[in-house]
Amino acid sequence: MSEQVQRDAKKTPQDYAKEPVASVYNDFGTSAAGLTSDEAAKRLRQYGPNEIQKSKKQSQLKAFLKNFTSLMAWLLWVGGIIAVVAGMMELGIAIWAVNIINGVFSFWQEHAAQKATDSLMKMLRRT
């Protein structure tokens, strides 16, 4: 890769999106025609294949329970206990209800996002 890319290693994809195409080609040592076979083989050896790595899937139960064990969730559980011990049963139940609703909603959002990601992964061309 060119020295320019090494100097600009801190650039984000958003930075490159704002630059002229010719500048991006120059930074990455390529052109509109792409890389030569030799250069592509060299980069494959140097950087490995350009693949999206699959992560191990977490069980649904674990993913669900994770939403009730964050620091904020623990603070709400303790806050509910303190409210009940202080004689404010309604407040304690309300705090716990908020915690449960938040956990269920968070799980539902994560589940929907995971389904969308899985669908996009299926759409990727396999070579």
Q: Is 1 helix (H, G, I), strand (E, B) or coil?
A: coil
pLDDT in tens, the chain (127 residues): 444 445 456 778 788 888 888 888 888 888 888 888 888 899 889 888 877 777 778 888 998 999 898 899 999 999 999 999 999 999 999 999 999 999 999 999 999 998 898 888 888 766 5
